[in-house]
Amino acid sequence: MSALSPRHVWTYRAVFVALALFLITFKLLPLNLASSGLPGPDLLVLLAFAWTVRQPAVVPLGLILGVFLLADFLFIRPPGLWTALVIVACEFLRRRRLTMTEFPFLVEWGAVGVAVLGMVLLNRLALWVLLADLDSLGLSLAHAIVTVAVYPLVVVVSKYVFGLRKLGPAELEAL
C-alpha cells in the first residue's frame, strides 16, 4: 500500500481520531484525583505535531479543529484558544517539514520545542489580555517542558507501533 493512496490516508485518519478520543477519555477518567506536582505531557498536541511532520495528509485542518475543540470543551479550557494555537503551530511545522526531512531529528525536535513553548506563552498572553484566570507561570512552563521532553517517545511509537514513516524529499517532490 503506497503511503499516498487514499486508502492509506483514510485508515490513518481513522486511527488518529481513535487515538485522540482514547487520550481524551483516558484523561477524563477519575484515576488521578488528588495527584499534584508535575503536570503530564499534552500527548494530543504531540501526536498532531508528529503526524503532521511525517505525513501531513493524515491530519487535515478539519480533523485538528474537531478534535481540539472537543478537547477544549471537555477539559474546561477557554474554548477555541488552544485550538487556534494548535492550528497555527501545525501550519508552521507543515511549512517547514521539507527542511526537517533533510536534517537530523534534533532539528525537528527543536522546531517542535519552539512551537510548544510559543503556544504556551501566547496562550498566557491571550488570557492575560482577556483578564481571565491565569495558571501559575511555573506550572505552565513545567507543562511545556515535559511536553517537549516526551516528543521523541511519541515519534518512536508513531514510527514503530503505527508504522508512520517520514516521507522523503523524493516522494514529496513527486506530489
Among 14, 139, 149, 156, binds other proteins (CB under 8 A): 139
Where do we find the cell 521532553?
Answer: 149
Nearer to other proteins, 5 or 160 (CB): 5
Q: Does 91 bind other proteins (CB under 8 A)?
A: yes
Among 11, 18, 79, 125, binds other proteins (CB under 8 A): 79
Alpha-carbon gap, residue 71 to 97, rounded angstroms? 26
Q: Does 56 bind other proteins (CB under 8 A)?
A: yes
Nearer to other proteins, 26 or 160 (CB): 26
Q: Are 44 and 24 in contact (CB under 8 A)?
A: yes
Among 117, 126, 150, 157, binds other proteins (CB under 8 A): 126
Amino acid identity of residue 126, one-letter, is: A
Q: Does 99 bind other proteins (CB under 8 A)?
A: no
Q: Does 4 bind other proteins (CB under 8 A)?
A: yes
Nearer to other proteins, 41 or 155 (CB): 41
CB of 60 to other proteins, least distance (A): 9
Q: Does 106 bind other proteins (CB under 8 A)?
A: no
Q: Does 145 bind other proteins (CB under 8 A)?
A: no
Q: Measuring CA to CA, which residue among 40, 41, 44, 39 is closest to residue 25?
A: 44
**Residues forming the site for other proteins (CB under 8 A):** 4, 6, 9, 25-40, 56-57, 61, 65, 69-70, 73-76, 78-81, 83-84, 87-88, 91, 126, 130-133, 135-136, 139, 143, 172, 174-175
